Structure 1
Amino acid sequence: TVDPKTASQYAYLFEGIKNATDIQNGKKKPETLGIKAVGKYKLVVTLDRRIPYFNNLMAFGSFFPQNEKAVKKYGSKYGTASKYMVYNGPYIMSGWSGSNLSWKLKKNPYYWDKKNVKLDAVNYSVQKTPSTAYNLYQSNKLDAVALDAEQSKQLKSVNGYALYPRGTTFYIQFNQAKNKYLQNANIRKALSMAINRESLTKVLGGSNTVAHTFTPAKLTTVNGKDYTSLISKSDEAYTYYNKKEAQKYLKQGMKELGVSKLSFKLLSDDTDGAKKSTEAMQSNIQETLPQVSITTQNLPFKTRLARTNALNFDMVVSAWGADFNDPISFLDLLTSTNAQNGGKWSNKEYDKLIAASKTTGSDSERWSNLSKAEGILLKDVGISPLYSSTSAWIVRPEIKGLVNLRDHWDFKYAHVN
């Protein structure tokens, strides 16, 4: 992952492990990375500095072990189908071709803790429509199904209905590298304050909640309180709909730029929810700010991502889900050189605070650094948070022990009563 030849967008997560940054920058060889196996059962990781969230990092996919023999044996086919993988967890995947619509998880007879694994198998199937999935649930052919926004409204009082926070924030990135109008902070403030997030979440339906911070609520607890409570409320002001203030900032920004009209393209995905979202924001902005024209562009996910990476956009609706339960999983993205910083917003004080949060030995200082940095991001409208998403499911009540962590299911302790 850290070898620059791989060009991994997640290489930055290894920063703090000995030599990782130098390897990424081509100054040292990959084999000098401070990770080595000692004997059969011990892995030794050497750090350049304290990483307070190190234990959480180890639960993220980029740090999972890989079987070297299997990787070499399968080559480019590795990971493309169930037969081209090896398994060290409670289950083995069976019958997945990479594109088929049904497969199984079978109990792993070699798993170290197999005595505590209750289920012999878990059957997966992909349904093309939510209504089909729910019909199969009602006829006892499925035990758990994801619900769309409409179903979530209708079924919230039904036994088995469950909400799972996804740890995901949807937000607008402004192209500050190529669009001189969006380089103006007053224009960004006006656009952000012209969006009514309350009505946006109603349009989207389901269980989405308004976001006033980049880091989603309920992700991290600090001394018994939600991390987001540490961020100054005054710094969140531009994430609230305010017609009068939006018009004021637009007037200031246009005066500074010497223009009387502005037009922007708002890019997003081509899903039903994304189309509803961009239409609602287009309507919000144009009604609140008549001098601004918004054109919506809804494209397939891969195309949207490619355009974002190529800086071929004005404003883009992006989403980020937590890789682990720490604000740094979000705030790292907006540092000046991070590959995920699609709008190229840059702030020296922000970069300094994020860097300091990674080196301080004091937990209280670290939380202070992170919350101050997030305050700077929100106050400058480096991005504009929109909403956080939650998954709605209906799960057969007799199934116990299921764990859902940010849309990832853990079946180890699942059993049927």
Structure 2
Amino acid sequence: MKNGILIAMIALIGVVIAACGGGDKASDQVANDGTKQSIKVTSAGEIATLDSALYSDTFSSDAIGQISEGLYRVNPDNDAELGIAKAEPTVSADKKVYTFQLRDDAKWSNGDPVTASDFVFAFQKVVDPKTASPSSNQLDVIKNANQIRNEKASPDTLGVKAINDKTLEITLENPIPYLPKLLTGTPFLPQNEKFVTATGSKYGTSADTVLSNGPFLLKDWSGIGTSWTYIKNKDYWDATNVKLNKVAVQVAKDTGAGVNLYQTGDVQYTALTDEFVQKYKTDKAYHSKEKSLIGYLGFNEDRKATANVHLRKALSMAFDKEAYTDTILGDGSKALNGYIPSGFAKDPGNNKDFRAENGDLVTFDPEKAKSEWVTAKQELGVDKLTLEILSSDTEVSKKTVEFLQSEIQKNLPDITIKLKSVPLKNRLALTTAGDYDVFYGTWMPDYSDPINFLEVYQSDGGLNFSKYDSATYDAGLNDIKSTYATEPEKRWDKMLELEKQLIQTDAVVAPFYQGASAYLLDPTVKDVQIYPFGRNISYRLAYVAK
């Protein structure tokens, strides 16, 4: 299918932004009620990869989620519902072996059927050390995954098996209560082995080097572009419930640019921040939803200065979180004094919220921060220190690190903060390589269990950019995943304990806000799914009302 692109040029603060438009005959079809089922939207960041084994950012995960589907998908109530699996699995008596039957009508966009072998291939690829997947530790729930990741077993020993083309068997290390939620995540999506093998290292680097088995096909993305298009996938097994024929996406890192595109009618959806939230709060197009996303500072423990726990504690307490959420974000986000956000998980015994139960673990306290800085100077043998904070180059990220720079330099005398803002793809590469002192990032969990946050800092975890290495912490994670897998209260208490170790004792990460989604959505556009965890957004059920 050939796609045309209508380029609308809009001058904004000296910057020219290209707004994607229609021209594709099939994708501009008109619904029975006379409505054109096509929308234009913005994204606050670009796609880094379309490879579900290699992604490490939400924008890439969003794109992958529009075009791919796993055994389960997320429904409008944010619960797991059946996707490529056509029925709930049969489960062994010991609750370790799950057998799934796949849909007969599930296809790839090249016409191949989606088979059990596609899941086996994809899962083995994620855990294979040669892949270096940032998400590999998420598969540790599957038998032998951890051994494989640590080069103690072969990828073909992973506890996934294709009984036949449409029967998939998954064997777990231990029973887990959240498997359906886990399987909605991006690392658990299938890949077509024949296509991936033929494409080689180029897989997922452009629209032409990836296949779809989900609601949409991705078009018009070369791998470095700031615009792309989703076209309805007519071969998707649930295509009758996908109403939109086309979604044109334009990257707008600057909120003002996105708002301008909305006001001129060039997009129907765009995210809001800071002053724009106040301006549009009473607009009928305005929406705000709390998310489980957190904003945080990560510290490089492989560098002498930031390996010092007292310096990390000083930095963690040296900035006013509430002033930040009020003045920089202003979108409903709130100060966060722990690692696990509020409204995310509840104690299985007393139903109390995790954040409320574990309390405030790190607060804004300039006096304590100064005291920790004095100790750090003594241990490091320095009187002054210069540190660099790395961030992506989006408007909000730049404002965030400028705020942090001002606060830290004001509250910690003799510390100089330099800033380095680069495109997200480069920021991820630098943090992965350990080429930074401190970085500002955000983290969105894939499913609603605290272990998804805590396992990030497993010593051999692919997203452990801080290189935190604690035998005690790793042992605690193992207890959560195995020893206490069927003892929910003990499991919960261990997760409370590990959060305190991570934040209060070792100051591995400095969380400072819990995010919210504030956005403008044209009132004629209905049923866009805004997720509180996992991916940001889905257009699978969206449609344009007459």
TM over 0.5: yes
The structural deviation recorded for 1:46 is: 1.0
Q: 1:263 aligned to 349, 373, 385, which one? A: 385
The structural deviation recorded for 1:285 is: 2.7
Aligned residue type for 1:389? G
Q: Aligned pair in 2 of structure 1 residues 26, 129: CA closer, same or farther (>3 Å)?
A: closer
CA separation in 1, counterparts of 2:405 and 2:252? 32
| Residue correspondence of structure 1 range 121-140 to structure 2 within 5 A | 121-127=246-252, 129-140=254-265
Contact 1:104 1:124 in 2 (8 A): yes
| Residue correspondence of structure 1 range 344-359 to structure 2 within 5 A | 344-359=467-482
Structure 1 residue aligned with 2:353? 226
Structure 2 residue aligned with 1:308? 431
Pair 1:390 & 2:516 matched: yes
Q: 1:403 aligned to 522, 525, 529, which one? A: 529
Aligned residue type for 2:356? S
CA separation in 2, counterparts of 1:128 and 1:293? 30
The structural deviation recorded for 1:272 is: 3.8
Indicate the larger mover: 30-39 or 129-138. 129-138
Paired residue secondary structure (1:21): helix
CA separation in 2, counterparts of 1:82 and 1:184? 44
Aligned residue type for 2:184? A
Contact 2:409 2:417 in 1 (8 A): no
Higher helix share: 1
Q: 2:238 aligned to 113, 121, 125, which one? A: 113
Pair 1:289 & 2:289 matched: no
Pair 1:48 & 2:176 matched: no
Structure 2 residue aligned with 1:3? 128
| Residue correspondence of structure 1 range 169-180 to structure 2 within 5 A | 169-179=294-304
Runs of 4+ in 1 over 6 A off after TM superposition: none
Paired residue secondary structure (1:358): helix
| Residue correspondence of structure 1 range 179-258 to structure 2 within 5 A | 179=304, 181-207=305-331, 208-223=333-348, 224-233=351-360, 236=361, 239-254=362-377, 257=379
CA separation in 2, counterparts of 1:77 and 1:303? 18
Q: 2:542 aligned to 401, 414, 417, which one? A: 414
Q: Aligned pair in 2 of structure 1 residues 357, 138: CA closer, same or farther (>3 Å)?
A: same
Deviations 1:41-61 (A, max 9, x none): 221101122233322221112
The structural deviation recorded for 1:159 is: 0.9
CA separation in 2, counterparts of 1:249 and 1:92? 53
The structural deviation recorded for 1:387 is: 1.9
Aligned residue type for 1:388? Q
CA separation in 1, counterparts of 2:269 and 2:538? 13
Please report the TM-score for the alignment, with normalisation by the length of structure 1: 0.87
Indicate the larger mover: 66-75 or 28-37. 66-75
CA separation in 2, counterparts of 1:403 and 1:9? 26
Deviations 1:212-266 (A, max 9, x none): 1122223334454432223144xx1xx22223333333344545x2857231303
Paired residue secondary structure (2:211): coil
Indicate the larger mover: 27-36 or 142-151. 142-151
Contact 2:135 2:463 in 1 (8 A): no
Q: Aligned pair in 2 of structure 1 residues 283, 138: CA closer, same or farther (>3 Å)?
A: closer
Identity of aligned residues (%): 32
Q: Aligned pair in 2 of structure 1 residues 149, 81: CA closer, same or farther (>3 Å)?
A: same
CA separation in 1, counterparts of 2:253 and 2:469? 42
The structural deviation recorded for 1:373 is: 0.5
Alignment gaps of 5+ in structure 1:
none
CA separation in 2, counterparts of 1:38 and 1:20? 19
Structure 1 residue aligned with 2:401? 278
How many residues were matched structurally? Answer: 410
Q: 1:35 aligned to 160, 170, 191, which one? A: 160
Structure 2 residue aligned with 1:341? 464
Aligned residue type for 2:317? M
Q: Aligned pair in 2 of structure 1 residues 299, 416: CA closer, same or farther (>3 Å)?
A: closer
Contact 1:164 1:390 in 2 (8 A): yes
CA separation in 2, counterparts of 1:303 and 1:103? 20
CA separation in 1, counterparts of 2:224 and 2:374? 52
Paired residue secondary structure (1:387): strand
Aligned residue type for 1:283? S
Indicate the larger mover: 281-290 or 43-52. 281-290
Q: 1:89 aligned to 211, 214, 237, which one? A: 214
Aligned residue type for 1:197? K
Please report the TM-score for the alignment, with normalisation by the length of structure 2: 0.68
CA separation in 2, counterparts of 1:310 and 1:99? 21
CA separation in 2, counterparts of 1:148 and 1:176? 32
Q: Aligned pair in 2 of structure 1 residues 371, 104: CA closer, same or farther (>3 Å)?
A: same
Aligned residue type for 1:215? I
CA separation in 2, counterparts of 1:125 and 1:280? 28
Aligned residue type for 1:262? K
